[in-house]
Homo-oligomer: A and B are copies of this chain.
Amino acid sequence: MQSTIEPFPLTVGGILRYATGVHGDRTVTTATGQGGYRHATYREVGRDAARLANALRGLGITGDQRVGTFMWNNAEHLVAYLAIPSMGAVLHTLNIRLFPEQIEFVAYEAEDQVIIADLSVAPVLARVLRSLETVHTVIAVGEGDLGPLQESGKTVLRYDELLAEQSDEFDWPDVDENSAAAMCYTSGTTGHPKGVVYSHRSNYLHSMAVCSGNAMGLSFSDRALPIVPMFHANAWGMPYAALMAGADLVMPDRHMDAVSMVNLIETQQPTVAGAVPTIWNDVMNHLLDNPGHDISSLRLVACGGSAVPVSLMKTFEDKFGVPIRQAWGMTETSPIATVAWPAPGTPEDKQWELRGSQGRPLCGVEARIVDDEGNALPNDDESVGELEVRGPWITGSYYRNTDPSKFVGGWLRTGDVGRIDAQGYVTLTDRAKDVIKSGGEWISSVELENHLIAHPAVLDAAVVGVPDERWEERPLAAVVLKEGAEASPDQLREFLSDKVVRWWLPERWTFVTEIPRTSVGKYDKKAIRARHAEGDYQVHTIS
């Protein structure tokens, strides 16, 4: 028997049609710096999307050619998010924080034809533009000198001037929901970045999931603030989800320091925001140092990208009246896969434990823990192994099939190590490659780091495995102390002693001025291990 319901396509163009048609009065607000803001309605965004599509066609963009963006979170980036996939082309969000050689690599592999770039980051782009062979044109957004970009020999056009010449109507094509809509590269610490190509369908379904009550529950009563960059895995899906919900969008552009953030929240009154812990940590410290501000318009803060300290969540809730909800995902998972929130009736201490976990899968996402041989382990909160995930918005390969070893039988091998409990809560204890194996047992570097960061004297801390004659590996703690604060290795070890099992306690400690980080701000543990191996660190050993 045939279903009488045909598979109506799930496309970015459908989101565009809906947001501009039904929610045309809603607005996108972009910070312009020093407390200034500019506003556009979704109707205007839709017209600009048509203008941009016409302009790109005029520049020769056809079929599923790639158009790169090199931009902060702003109205123009939203226009690109809508126009490029809806015209059938592929949006490639270039990460402005990649190293120059990585930018060259990804633009070349993706075969970007045109790049739309904020002039505020033109110097970064200008450094590599000449060597981006496939790129023929740059569309420059905002005010500033075109000179540095023009030195590349590419055609450089001003966005405003280009769009002013175009019709605000475009004959949007019918697009197959399984065709490519957007692509984003992972920024691995080893090897080349790897490309994930999102389909219209995967973006659409991920957006629906973001709108669901278990994720952000976005509705048109919300004002959504994506602080997480739009070049990081679709800004966690917030732009498309907000359009789908008819929620207002508030965009920080490049103004992401704590003072700007607090001003933005107080004046623009967002209800839902998303950013990495570092941002919220800065906001917290600013608010604690400068009482009298009010960020309680936020009914929900999504936080992820790295483990969210429970102490941060507690401070936000107790002092500012703002709940932080931890979410976990990767570029490969669109990105939101799991969200950490306790079920009703959970005892209070257990609530914080669960909120400190990576959370439970949203419906659609399936998660499992496997052993070294790939056998699924029970969800007993004890069995430890690599996390594998699959689902409608999880990639099953990389572009051009680079690194096929990350995929097995339809599952994505996340490279994260952890456990799952009977209610599906995932607790990640390490990156597979960062796991510390001591005497045949695993020590979680992440857990040690989280405890260390909660020490009042500690600003930052990373723990890596280093060779040990007796135990094969033992943890080395690299600690950055707060300015003027003091703490000895003995004191820090003592501080940890009632928080983790005895044999996890590090003997090796080093005090550093900064933890090496990757281009996207994650601990670069490979670099830490290398520096330690080269004797760059002064290590205090507790015997």
**Chain A contacts to B: CB under 8 angstroms:** 1-8, 10, 14-15, 17-18, 21-26, 64, 66, 90, 177-181, 183, 195-199, 201-202, 205, 208-209, 211-214, 216-222, 244-246, 334, 341, 343-344, 360-361, 363-364, 366, 379, 390-399, 410, 422-424
Q: Which of B217, B390, B398 contacts A213 (CB 8 A)?
A: B217
Given A4-B397, A22-B423, A217-B219, 12 new contacts (CB under 8 A): A3-B178, A3-B197, A4-B195, A4-B399, A5-B199, A17-B366, A208-B208, A211-B363, A213-B217, A213-B221, A220-B343, A221-B341
CB-defined contacts of A15 to chain B, threshold 8 Å: 363
Alpha-carbon distance between A393 and B4 when the two chains are bound, in angstroms: 10
Please name all residues of chain B whose beta carbon is closer than 8 Å to the beta carbon of A208 when the two chains form the complex.
205, 208-209, 212, 363
CB-CB under 8 A from A244, the residues of chain B are 363
Report the nearest B residue to A201, measured CB to CB. B7
A245 touching B213 by the CB < 8 A rule? yes
Tell me whether B211 and A214 are in contact (CB under 8 A): yes
Please tell me if the beta carbons of B245 and A197 are within 8 angstroms of each other in the complex.
Answer: no
Contact B5 A198 (CB under 8 A): yes
29 of the cross-chain contacts (CB-CB < 8 Å) are A2-B197, A3-B198, A3-B202, A4-B399, A5-B202, A5-B392, A5-B393, A5-B394, A5-B396, A6-B396, A7-B177, A7-B178, A7-B201, A10-B205, A18-B366, A22-B360, A23-B423, A25-B343, A208-B209, A208-B363, A211-B212, A212-B212, A212-B218, A213-B213, A213-B216, A213-B221, A213-B222, A213-B245, A217-B219
Task: Determine if A10 and B392 form an interchain contact, defined as CB atoms under 8 angstroms apart.
Answer: yes
A214 touches B245 (CB 8 A): yes
Is there contact, CB below 8 Å, between B211 and A8? no
Greatest chain B CB density within 10 A among A4, A195, A360, A395 is at: A4
A221 and B339 alpha carbons, distance in the complex (Å): 13
**B22 x A197 contact (CB < 8 A):** no
Question: Which residues of chain B have C-beta atoms less than 8 A from A201's C-beta?
Answer: 5, 7
The 5 closest A-B pairs by CB, nearest first: A213-B219, A22-B424, A3-B199, A211-B212, A8-B392
Q: Are B220 and A217 in contact (CB under 8 A)?
A: no
Among A5, A18, A178, A395, chain B packs the most CB atoms within 10 A around the CB of: A5
Q: Tell me the bound Cα distance from A395 to B6 in angstroms.
A: 7
Q: How far is the CB of A399 from chain B (nearest CB, A)?
A: 6
Asked whether, in the complex, the Cβ of A214 is within 8 Å of the Cβ of B220, the reply is yes
Q: How far is the CB of A419 from chain B (nearest CB, A)?
A: 15
Please report the C-alpha to C-alpha distance between residue A216 and residue B213 in the assembled complex, in whole angstroms.
Answer: 8
A10 nearest CB neighbor, chain B only: B392
Do A218 and B211 touch (CB < 8 A)?
A: no
A285 to B1, CA, bound (A): 46
Whole-angstrom distance between the alpha carbons of A23 and B17 in the complex? Answer: 35
Q: Report the minimal beta-carbon distance from A86 to chain B, rounded to whole angstroms.
A: 15
Query: A377: shortest Cβ distance to chain B, in Å?
Result: 14
Q: Which residue of B lies closest to A394 (CB)?
A: B5
Complex Cα distance, B244 from A363, in Å, reads 6
Q: Cβ of A180: which chain B residues have Cβ within 8 Å of it? A: 1-3
Residues of B within 8 A of A341 (CB): 220-221
Chain B residues with CB under 8 Å of A6's CB are: 396, 410
Q: How far is the CB of A8 from chain B (nearest CB, A)?
A: 4
- Given A213-B218, A220-B214, A390-B8; A245-B3 close (CB under 8 Å): no
Contact of A5 among B10, B214, B395, B423 (CB under 8 A): B395
Q: B344 and A221: CB pair below 8 A?
A: yes
